[in-house]
Amino acid sequence: MKVIKTKDYADMSRKAANIISAQIILKPDSVLGLATGSTPVGTYEELTKRYNQGDLDFSKILSVNLDEYRGLDASNDQSYHYFMNEHLFKNVNIDKANTHVPDGSEPDSDKACADYEEIIRSYGGIDLQLLGLGHNGHIGFNEPSDEFAKTTHCVDLTESTIQANKRFFEKEEDVPRQAYTMGIGTIMKAKAILVVVSGEDKSAILNEVINGPITPKVPASVLQLHPNVTIVADEAALSKTTL
Active site residue 153: no
Query: CB-based contacts of 181: which residues, under 8 Å, 6+ apart?
Result: 66, 67, 102, 140, 141, 142, 152, 153, 155
Using DSSP's 3-state secondary structure scheme, residue 171 falls into coil
Give the nearest distance from C-beta 162 to ligand F6R in angstroms: 14
Distance CA 197, CA 97 (A): 30
**Nearest CB to ligand F6R, comparing residues 29 and 201:** 201
Distance CA 55, CA 162 (A): 40
Q: Which of 68, 106, 117, 143 is catalytic?
A: 143
Distance CA 228, CA 59 (A): 26
Residues lying near ligand F6R in the complex (CB under 6 A): 35-39, 66-67, 132-134, 138-141
Whether the Cβ atoms of residue 226 and residue 188 lie closer than 8 Å to each other: yes
Q: Which of 18, 91, 98, 136 is catalytic?
A: 136
Q: Which of 81, 87, 100, 138 is catalytic?
A: 138
**Nearest CB to ligand F6R, comparing residues 13 and 39:** 39
Give the nearest distance from C-beta 66 to ligand F6R in angstroms: 4
Active site residue 81: no
**Nearest CB to ligand F6R, comparing residues 38 and 160:** 38
Active site residue 136: yes
**Residues carrying an active site annotation:** 67, 136, 138, 143
